[in-house]
């Protein structure tokens, strides 16, 4: 038990420090506005933001064997330094270029992982530079909520997902060339990033007259269809459809759907937390829409988060290849939960704030506890726990 708590403590400590830094920055900005009676803002590169970026970079740098893909990235890096070759040869050219640049200069692998953590943190904080009141909640939700394990595991995809945050204004305003340029660069880090270009055609500014029941109904339909997705079998067996989009060679991945061998994920605390957070920000969206009426990006953030959770629940019982695109939108669920907590704080709903914060932020603890004590793995071999690197 003691080993488990020691490995889990970095999540809690880092999350609390990020909360304090974000809270202090938001408080300083509020005091400045009160003293000047103007809607002025502190620069995004204030010392609290820089310290937060460095802390996330340190958190990423010191992790070891945390996340399913960590060993692959580490082995690739070390083999590059040993003989200049890559263990996995099908990685994207941009990602390989950055990896080679850091590896062949003789840097320690902790610097490599710290670099990606710093890049992700920079994109997140810069993308929310006009929403500094969210900084304190972002750290809590990101490190303790249902996202941290995916964030640490899918290094390339989550880097692109977080880099998408500063690009939301361009997609919301249909600025074609910036959107296309971003997508082309993103594809060099992860091939699936072309999916983000599809969001250019999605209206991110929603009609203000939509009721809560409208969004709940859409979510309920996606949830019910995803409970037993037999409707996917004829689609998955349509070879012409895969040929049309150039996915012929990937059709084998969908063979379980053709044979109706679905996943049928069970219900437990983790699945219920996913459901709870989805219903939470959908339920309070109409009230928050009025409260944040001057926030130009609030509706776009909600739309992306809403599409993400609907997609997740629609395909949750299918094959892994279909679920994976939802990861690009989970960062906006993090942002929406930060909005929810900030809203509860503003309207003084302290009970709801405490309950929702406790439920959401228990996810990482339950995930680690479950793997160690229910999957019968020694804590030293558990890749969901936070392990420090063995040598520096």
Lowest mean pLDDT among 128-132, 263-267, 314-318, 362-366: 263-267
Residue 253, pLDDT score: 58
Q: How many residues does the chain have?
A: 392
pLDDT in tens, 220-235: 999 998 887 766 666 5
Q: Which two tokens stand for residue 270?
A: 């983790």
pLDDT in tens, 157-167: 999 999 999 99
Distance CA 202, CA 179 (A): 13
Average pLDDT over residues 26-55: 87
Average pLDDT over residues 139-146: 91
Lowest mean pLDDT among 115-119, 191-195, 355-359: 191-195
Lowest mean pLDDT among 32-36, 114-118, 130-134, 342-346: 32-36
Distance CA 133, CA 346 (A): 10
pLDDT score of 246 more than 50: no
Q: In degrees, to the nearest 5, what angle opens at C-alpha 341 toward C-alphas 304 and 368?
A: 80
| Most confident among 16-25, 88-97, 150-159 (mean pLDDT) | 16-25
pLDDT score of 244 more than 50: no
pLDDT score of 283 more than 80: yes
pLDDT score of 132 more than 50: yes
Lowest mean pLDDT among 120-124, 190-194, 370-374: 370-374
| Most confident among 100-104, 367-371, 379-383 (mean pLDDT) | 100-104
Average pLDDT over residues 237-255: 52
pLDDT score of 59 more than 70: yes
Lowest mean pLDDT among 47-61, 197-211, 280-294: 197-211
Q: Which two tokens stand for residue 128?
A: 């929310």
pLDDT score of 348 more than 60: yes
Percentage, residues of the chain above pLDDT 70: 85
Residues 164, 328 contacting (CB under 8 angstroms): yes
Residue 245, pLDDT score: 43
């Amino acid at each position: 038990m003691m080993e488990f708590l020691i490995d889990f403590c970095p999540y809690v400590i880092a999350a609390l420090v990020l909360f304090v830094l974000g809270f202090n920055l938001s408080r300083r900005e509020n005091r400045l506005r009160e003293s000047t009676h103007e809607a002025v803002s502190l620069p995004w590169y204030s010392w609290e933001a820089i310290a937060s970026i460095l802390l996330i970079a340190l958190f990423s740098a010191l992790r070891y064997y945390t996340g399913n893909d960590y060993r692959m990235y580490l082995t690739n890096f070390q083999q590059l330094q040993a003989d200049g070759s890559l263990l996995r040869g099908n990685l994207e050219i941009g990602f390989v270029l950055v990896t080679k640049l850091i590896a062949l200069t003789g840097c320690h692998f902790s610097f490599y992982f710290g670099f990606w953590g710093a890049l992700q943190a920079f994109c997140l904080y810069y993308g929310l530079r006009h929403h500094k009141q969210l900084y304190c909640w972002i750290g809590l939700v990101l490190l303790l909520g249902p996202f941290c394990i995916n964030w640490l595991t899918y290094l390339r995809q989550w880097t692109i997902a977080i880099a998408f945050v500063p690009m939301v204004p361009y997609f919301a305003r249909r600025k074609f060339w910036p959107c296309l340029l971003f997508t082309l660069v993103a594809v060099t880090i992860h091939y699936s990033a072309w999916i983000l270009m599809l969001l250019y055609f999605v209206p991110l500014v929603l009609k203000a007259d939509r009721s809560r029941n409208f969004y709940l109904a859409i979510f309920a339909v996606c949830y019910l269809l995803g409970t037993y997705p037999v409707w996917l079998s004829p689609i998955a067996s349509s070879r012409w459809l895969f040929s049309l989009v150039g996915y012929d060679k990937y059709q084998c991945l969908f063979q379980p759907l053709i044979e109706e061998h679905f996943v049928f994920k069970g219900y437990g605390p983790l699945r219920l937390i996913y459901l709870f957070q989805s219903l939470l920000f959908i339920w309070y969206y109409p009230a928050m829409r009025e409260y944040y009426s001057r926030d130009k990006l609030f509706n776009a953030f909600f739309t992306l988060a809403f599409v993400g959770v609907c997609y997740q629940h629609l395909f949750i019982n299918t094959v892994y290849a279909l679920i994976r695109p939802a990861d690009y939108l989970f960062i906006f669920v993090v942002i929406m939960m930060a909005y929810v907590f900030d809203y509860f704080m503003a309207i003084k709903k302290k009970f709801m704030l405490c309950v929702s914060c406790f439920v959401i932020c228990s996810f990482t603890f339950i995930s680690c506890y479950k793997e160690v004590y229910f999957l019968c793995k020694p804590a030293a071999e558990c890749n969901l726990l936070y392990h420090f690197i063995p040598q520096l």
